Amino acid sequence: MKSYTPTRLLAFGVLLSAGWILLLTGCRRVAPEADVSASQIKTYPLTGEIIKVDTERRTLLVDHDEIPGYMPRMVMEFQVSPGELAVAKEGQRIRGEMIPSDSGDYRLEKIWAVDATADATVAAAANALRQDTTIRGKRAYREVGENLPDFALYDQTGAVASAARFRGKQIVLNFIFTRCPVATMCPAATEGMIALQAEARKAGVANLELVSITLDPEYDTPGVLKDYALARGIDTSNFSFLTGPESAIKDLLTQFGVIAQFDGSILQHTLTTLLINENGRIVHRADGSRWDLREFVDKMKR
């Protein structure tokens, strides 16, 4: 990602020469042991229709299409995570990855709803964002004082969340990914957002929306993001976790001046938290996982 102001380039240059010890930090997507076991698991792409969402058994009954070379079309029960279960809807077309086991239990992961209208909306927004980033060129990075770019992604319920959805609200936005195991990186950033949510309510800030966009859209499906929120007891009434096309995520990273790149299983990335006002203008930026909650709240109250 090349589009940064000279000042920001200088700052990143200092960080890089110091071994990326402040802002640009490597996060494994999963632990080394999990990397090994995951590489040995055979998965099969699956498409089909959800027939039943069984909350008691924590399973989905799916009428799935033929899996070439493995099994014909049939109705099967699949174990899923609590987040995937919460997002699933009967009658919904889905695609995902099936994981068989020696015990005869089958698991379904990386589930995406197949919705032609929603998918077309997100794809069109991704194409427009790509064009915008290209046209902006060296000026792609958005400084404080510039507007939030248009986008459309999926939230933790699977619904389309566009920039227009947050219009008229103050937005605090950052980038994280669910498998980040480094306590001082994404987990700390999420804890900061949770604390900010509580502090803003105490201060009487009623028009706040918190937004965390994944750095790892290949893995972070809506159901995985829902799991992430459930596991932390996060109040999602005004806290959205977003995922979507990799191209759209990369363009947003470029426009917000966030560095993120994989080196094998290591995701090297910076952390940035942005405050965007009711008119969609970026009014404050804090780099790193530690930032002053009161500073953000005070700016919201102005």
Q: What is the pLDDT along the chain (302 residues), one digit of tens a residue?
A: 333 333 333 333 333 333 333 345 555 555 444 444 555 678 999 999 999 999 999 999 999 999 999 999 999 999 999 999 999 999 999 999 999 987 878 999 999 999 999 999 999 999 999 999 999 998 999 999 999 999 999 999 999 999 999 999 999 999 999 998 888 889 999 999 999 999 999 999 999 999 999 999 999 999 999 999 999 999 999 999 999 999 999 999 999 988 766 555 556 677 889 999 999 999 999 987 778 889 999 999 87
Torsion angles phi and psi, residue 135, rounded to 5: -65, -40
User: Do residues 177 and 151 touch, judged by C-beta distance below 8 A?
Assistant: no
Tell me the CA distances in angstroms from 22 to 120, 274, 288, 296, 302, one per residue in order.
Answer: 39, 18, 7, 21, 31
Strands 260-263 and 239-242: unpaired
pLDDT of residue 14: 30
Q: How far apart are CA 165 and CA 222, in angstroms?
A: 17
Q: How far apart are CA 4 and CA 173, in angstroms?
A: 19
Beta strands in 10-90 (DSSP E): 25-28, 44-54, 59-64, 74-79
b/e sequence 139-149, b meaning 16+ C-beta within 10 Å: ebbbeeeeebb
Q: What is the dihedral of CA 248, 254, 258, 262, to 10 degrees?
A: 70
pLDDT of residue 291: 83
Per the DSSP assignment, residues forming a β-bridge with 46 are 96
Look-up of token digits 């990799």: 246
User: Do residues 49 and 91 touch, judged by C-beta distance below 8 A?
Assistant: yes
